[in-house]
Structure 1
Amino acid sequence: MQNFTNANPSVFILTFSVITDLNYLYGGISLTGYLLIILFNSTVLSTIFVNQNLHEPMYIFIASLCANGLYGSTSFFPGLLVNLFSKTQLISYPACMVQIFCMYSYGSFEMSMLTVMAYDRYVCICNPLRYFTIMTPTKAFSWIIVALVDSIITTFVLVILTVRLPLCDNVILKIYCDNWSVVRLSCIDTTVNNLYGFYIAVETLLVKPFLIMLSYVPILKVCAKSKDARAKALQTCTSQLISLVIFAANVLFEILLYRFGPTEVPYAIRVTSSVLFLVVAPLTNPLLYGMKMNAIKEKIMQWFYWKNMEASTKGN
Structure 2
Amino acid sequence: MMDNASVITMFTLSGLSGTVSHRVTLFVLTLLCYGVIWLVNLIIVVTIIMDKNLHEPMYIFLCNLCINGLYGTAGFYPKFLHDLLSTTHLISVPGCFLQGFVLHSSACADLSLLALMAYDRYVAICRPLVYHSMMTKKKIILYVFFAWIIPFYLMFISTGTTLTSRLCGSHIPKIYCVNWLISKLACSASVAQVVVPAFNYTFYFGHAVFIVWSYVFLVRTCQTSKENKHKFMQTCLPHLLTLIVVVGSLCFDLLYMRFGSKELSENVQNFMAMEFLLIPPIINPLIYGLRLTQLRKRVSHYICSRSSVFR
TM over 0.5: yes
In the alignment, the residues of structure 2 paired with residue 146 and residue 45 of structure 1 have an alpha-carbon distance, to the nearest angstrom, of 20
Change in 2 beyond 3 A, CA 1:159/1:88? same
Partner deviation per Cα, 1:103-129 (whole Å, 9 max, x = no partner)? 111011100010011000001111223
Moved more, 184-193 or 40-49: 184-193
In the alignment, the residues of structure 1 paired with residue 159 and residue 176 of structure 2 have an alpha-carbon distance, to the nearest angstrom, of 15
> Is the 8 Å Cα contact of residues 68 and 110 (structure 1) preserved in structure 2?
yes
- Tell me the equivalent position of 2:38: 38
> What SS does the aligned partner of 1:91 have?
strand
> What SS does the aligned partner of 1:7 have?
helix
In the alignment, the residues of structure 2 paired with residue 4 and residue 208 of structure 1 have an alpha-carbon distance, to the nearest angstrom, of 42
Aligned amino acid, residue 245 of structure 1: I
- Tell me the equivalent position of 1:269: 268
- Tell me the equivalent position of 1:186: 186
Which runs of structure 2 are paired with 1:217-256 in the superposition (5 Å)?
A: 217-256=216-255
Change in 2 beyond 3 A, CA 1:179/1:224? same
Change in 2 beyond 3 A, CA 1:277/1:191? farther
> Is the 8 Å Cα contact of residues 183 and 190 (structure 1) preserved in structure 2?
no
* Residue 281 (str. 1) matches residue 268 (str. 2): no
Aligned amino acid, residue 200 of structure 2: I
> Is the 8 Å Cα contact of residues 5 and 166 (structure 1) preserved in structure 2?
no
> What SS does the aligned partner of 1:18 have?
helix
Aligned amino acid, residue 90 of structure 1: L
- Tell me the equivalent position of 2:94: 94
Aligned amino acid, residue 111 of structure 2: M
Q: Unaligned regions of 5+ residues in structure 2, if any? A: none
Deviation (angstroms), 1:199: 2.5
Partner deviation per Cα, 1:253-296 (whole Å, 9 max, x = no partner)? 22222223664544223211111121111111111112211111
> Is the 8 Å Cα contact of residues 4 and 167 (structure 1) preserved in structure 2?
no
Which runs of structure 2 are paired with 1:112-261 in the superposition (5 Å)?
A: 112-204=112-204, 206-260=205-259
Identity %: 32
> What SS does the aligned partner of 2:11 have?
strand
> Is the 8 Å Cα contact of residues 5 and 169 (structure 2) preserved in structure 1?
no
State TM-score, norm by structure 2.
Answer: 0.95
Deviation (angstroms), 1:190: 4.2
Q: Unaligned regions of 5+ residues in structure 1, if any? A: none
Partner deviation per Cα, 1:138-194 (whole Å, 9 max, x = no partner)? 211210101111111100011001101111111101101111111111111244313
State TM-score, norm by structure 1.
Answer: 0.93
In the alignment, the residues of structure 1 paired with residue 5 and residue 57 of structure 2 have an alpha-carbon distance, to the nearest angstrom, of 52
Moved more, 157-166 or 122-131: 122-131
Moved more, 101-110 or 240-249: 240-249
In the alignment, the residues of structure 2 paired with residue 76 and residue 3 of structure 1 have an alpha-carbon distance, to the nearest angstrom, of 31
- Tell me the equivalent position of 1:75: 75
Change in 2 beyond 3 A, CA 1:4/1:259? farther
> Is the 8 Å Cα contact of residues 4 and 166 (structure 1) preserved in structure 2?
no
Change in 2 beyond 3 A, CA 1:222/1:19? closer
Superposed CA RMSD: 1.7
In the alignment, the residues of structure 2 paired with residue 178 and residue 90 of structure 1 have an alpha-carbon distance, to the nearest angstrom, of 14
Moved more, 219-228 or 10-19: 10-19
